[in-house]
Amino acid sequence: MSEPHHIHDMIGVGFGPSNLALAIALQERAQAGAPKLDALFLEAKPRFAWHPDMLLEGSDMQVSFIKDLVTLRNPASPYSFLSYLHAQGRLERFVNRKSFFPSRQEFNSYFVWAAAQLEDACRYGQRVIGAEPVQDPGGSGEVLAVTAEDGSGQQSRYLTRDLVLAIGGKPAIPDIFAALQGHPGVVHSSSYLSSVKPRLAAADRPLKVAVIGSGQSGAEIFMDLANDPARPQVDFIFRSHALKPSDDSPFVNEIFDASFTSHVYQQPADQRRALMAEYSNTNYAVVDGDLIDQVYGLFYEQEVAGSSSYGLLRSTCVTAAEASGQQTLLTLQPAQGGETRSSAYDLVILATGYRRRLGETLLAGLEPHVHFESPDRNYRMRTCGSFRPRIFLQGYCEETHGLSDTLLSVLAVRVDEIAEALLTPQPAQLAAAE
């Protein structure tokens, strides 16, 4: 691996919607007369993909199309969802649907369309594995050396003055399933379509499947399995007594307004935690009301028909899991306590969400130089002493910036704030220029 000499103004790690929106914001600022940054984005995937294993037929967005990559920042942008529809010749037909909520598949196609127009800004197939401070070969100060590797394991090294991290979350695997990671019968929802659907189609009998988790993903997967031609037997397992609806009423939805971010940030830590708890029913362990109706209707129709293909194991905890040949044996217990029972499944699907821990990311090597808590209002990590490179976070600031941070809701406005910060010279840079 040769040592690079070229220094980028900024490297973005990950090229999902967040950094794609940032690339657009930087381009549009340059077109409006702002300095053009030497920005490079590195993405591990071979091509743009947004939750590809959860693009289920019939699944719709839960956020308005107006909260796309650009509209809340620049309604006239050529990268808006409406511009995409116009380019595809579907604008009028979409209007005729009278809906703010396109399908998830269509919104992914919109993202792919936008990413294709900025393909030169990104190097795909580059998984970033670390970053460390080094001295600028030209002697102008400290920069970051970013190391990435391709699918063959060949490593490349890049230098940058600033870093923007937008790599999303990692699948949250409950502790009792930790030892079963890699077992073919235990799958996280993030790999549902590619891992589960082929097995259902190839099986010579209906498989027995457990779906664990009471959120949107769990309910969507349960209904998708119920409609699968392979006709699997499915148990829907969750600890709560009922599937709970997400609160998307107008006043509550104001917590996802961009202006609310500053309100959250200005609160003391205990008040921020209270806000998170108060409004967790907008995003965590909740399900769209229409989908709840579908799930309930399915179980009702099953009762009418006198069949038993689908089990609703609510108020149920999974207390143990172990491999049993190609199957997985789950130990189940009522949430209120009581006798346990065991059940074997061909497939266990963990719809258990994601976790976001900065210490588990490529930033671990920078721990002596940065504070993992309390980023500033512009999403910049606080650094120690004279550490010069700036590191910005997209999707890792929920505790300080609010529930909208991991969602699409404030994306367009957030990248504008980060772009403004990136284009603002640091004091050291100003001194060097004088």
Would you kindly state where each structural domain of the chain is located, as residue ranges? Answer: 7-169+356-433, 171-245+284-353
- Tell me, what amino acid is at 347? L
Taking only the tens place, the pLDDT of each residue in 20-76 is 999 999 999 999 999 999 999 999 999 999 999 999 999 999 999 999 999 999 999
Residue 385: which pLDDT band, with cuts at 50, 70 and 90? confident
Binning the chain into helix, strand and coil, the percentages to the nearest 5 are 35, 25, 40
Q: What's the Rg (C-alpha) of the chain?
A: 24
Measured between alpha carbons, how far is residue 413 from residues 32, 74, 122, 209 in Å? 17, 9, 22, 41
In sign, the C-alpha dihedral spanning 88, 93, 99, 103 is negative
How many other CB atoms sit within 10 Å of the CB of residue 281? 14
CATH number of 171-245+284-353: 3.50.50.60
Q: Which two tokens stand for residue 11?
A: 């490297």
Its pTM stands at 0.94
139 pLDDT exceeds 70? Answer: no
Measured between alpha carbons, how far is residue 285 from residues 176, 217, 219, 281 in Å? 19, 9, 10, 7
377 pLDDT exceeds 60? Answer: yes
> Are 7-169+356-433 and 171-245+284-353 equal in CATH topology?
yes
Average pLDDT over residues 233-237: 99
Is residue 346 within 8 Å of 384, Cβ to Cβ?
Answer: no
Q: How many helices (H) and strands (E) does the chain have?
A: 13, 17
* Alpha helical stretches, state H, 16-173: 17-31, 81-88, 91-96, 104-116
- Tell me, what amino acid is at 41? F
Q: State how far the Cα of 249 lies from the Cα of 211, in Å rounded to an integer.
A: 28
The matching CATH number, chosen from 3.30.470.20, 3.70.10.10, 3.30.450.40, 3.50.50.60, for 7-169+356-433 is 3.50.50.60
116 pLDDT exceeds 70? Answer: yes
Is residue 35 within 8 Å of 176, Cβ to Cβ?
Answer: no
Residue 424 buriedness (CB in 10 A; 0-12 / 13-18 / 19+): exposed
Residue 277 buriedness (CB in 10 A; 0-12 / 13-18 / 19+): exposed
| Nearest Cα to Cα of residue 161 among 50, 70, 65, 38 | 38
State the Cα angle at 348 between 343 and 354, rounded to 5°.
Answer: 135
pLDDT above 70 as % of the chain = 97
Q: What is the pLDDT of residue 372?
A: 86
Taking only the tens place, the pLDDT of each residue in 291-337 is 999 999 999 999 999 999 999 999 999 999 999 999 999 999 999 98
